[in-house]
C-alpha cells in the first residue's frame, strides 16, 4: 500500500532539511536530489518499512548518480571542445583559440546558427524552427557567419574572390 499523503508531508517537514545537509556536501544538485528522493518515496508500493533510512540511502545514491552524470558530461564536452572537433580538414588545422575567438566575435543569432549547424548537426529547417525563422533565413545567417569567420581568420592576401 502506498504511503499516505499526510505521512509523506510529515516526513518532508521533519527530514527534508536534514537530507539537504547530508547531500549538500556531496553534489551541487542537492535540492534536486532531495526532491527526487521524496518523489520516489511517494511512488513506492508498498511503502518502505523504514522510510527515513530509505530516504537517506536514496539521497546518497542519487547524489552519486548526479556526480557521475556531471563527470561524463564534462568529459564529453571536453572531447568535443578539442581542436580536432573544429577541424573540417585535418591538413589545414586552425588554432583552437583563434577559432573560438572568431566564433565568439559573431553576433548571437549568427553564432547560434553556426553552432547548431556545424557542431549540432541540425538542418536548416530544424535551425529555423529552433530560432523562430524560416529555413532560407537560417541558411543566409549560416553563410553570413562563415563569411565573417573567414574574414577574421584569413588574411586579405590569402582570400580568393
The answer on pLDDT for 148 being more than 60 is: yes
Percent of the chain surpassing pLDDT 70: 84
In angstroms, rounded to a whole number, what is the distance separating the alpha carbons of residues 16 and 51?
12
Q: Which CATH class is domain 89-153?
A: mainly alpha
- The Cβ of residue 98 has, within 10 Å, a number of other Cβ atoms equal to 13
Residue 158, pLDDT > 80, answer no
- Contact partners, residue 37, CB within 8 Å, separation at least 6: 19, 55, 58, 59, 62
For the cut 50, the answer to whether the pLDDT of residue 24 exceeds it is yes
Domain with CATH 1.10.10.10 in the chain: 89-153
pLDDT for 74-130, tens place per residue?
Answer: 888 777 766 555 555 544 444 667 777 888 888 888 988 988 888 778 899 989 988
Is 34 a residue whose pLDDT tops 90? yes
Q: What is the pTM of this model?
A: 0.50
Tell me the three state secondary structure of residue 12.
helix
Residue with the larger pLDDT of the pair 153 and 33: 33
Crossing angle of helices 5-24 and 30-43, rounded to 10°: 150
CA dist 97 and 103 (Å) reads: 10
Residues in the chain: 161
Amino acid at each position: 500500500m502506498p504511503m499516505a499523503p499526510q505521512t509523506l508531508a510529515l516526513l518532508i517537514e521533519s527530514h527534508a532539511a536534514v537530507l539537504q545537509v547530508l547531500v549538500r556536501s556531496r553534489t551541487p544538485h542537492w535540492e534536486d536530489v532531495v526532491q527526487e528522493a521524496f518523489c520516489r518515496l511517494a511512488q513506492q508500493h508498498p511503502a518502505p518499512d523504514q522510510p527515513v533510512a530509505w530516504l537517506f540511502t536514496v539521497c546518497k545514491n542519487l547524489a552519486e548518480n548526479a556526480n557521475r552524470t556531471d563527470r561524463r558530461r564534462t568529459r564529453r564536452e571536453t572531447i568535443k571542445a578539442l581542436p580536432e572537433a573544429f577541424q573540417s580538414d585535418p591538413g589545414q588545422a586552425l588554432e583552437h583559440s583563434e577559432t573560438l575567438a572568431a566564433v565568439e566575435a559573431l553576433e548571437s543569432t549568427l553564432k547560434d546558427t553556426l553552432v547548431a549547424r556545424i557542431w549540432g548537426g541540425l538542418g536548416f529547417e530544424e535551425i529555423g524552427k529552433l530560432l523562430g525563422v524560416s529555413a532560407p533565413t537560417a541558411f543566409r545567417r549560416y553563410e553570413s557567419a562563415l563569411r565573417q569567420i573567414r574574414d577574421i581568420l584569413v588574411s586579405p592576401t590569402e582570400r580568393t574572390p
